[in-house]
Amino acid sequence: MARTAEPSHYDLLGIPSSAGDETLRKAYRRAARLHHPGLMPQDDGAQQRMAATNEAYAVLSHPQRRASYDQWLRARDARNRAEDAVAAAQ
């Protein structure tokens, strides 16, 4: 069964998981300018993309939330690999 992987917060901001605070801040500001609904009034999806950008920054800019998110992301990736292995074995 094919699944669609939801992009990670890192993917949304276009940064590696090893990115530091300054890189994170710059990526957030760039994404916020790109997706801001006030700058893109004709784009119906701008508000949803801005909300996702804000959520990504809120999680990744807080050290404890980021650590928890990274743990969840590793677990998701491991689960996906295990499901792929089961599917390949059938």
DSSP collapsed to 3 states, 4-20:
CCCCCHHHHHCCCCCCC
Which residue has 């390949």 as its token pair? 88
pLDDT number for residue 31? 95
Q: Which residues of the chain are under the pLDDT cut of 50?
A: 1
Q: Would you call 90 exposed, middle or buried from its count of C-beta atoms within 10 A (0-12, 13-18, 19+)?
A: exposed
The predicted model scores a pTM of: 0.84
pLDDT number for residue 9? 97
State phi, psi for 38 to the nearest 5 degrees.
Answer: -70, -25
Question: Under a CB-based contact definition with an 8 Å cutoff, are residues 19 and 10 in contact?
Answer: yes
Q: What is the pLDDT of residues 20-43, one digit of tens each?
A: 999 999 999 999 999 898 888 888
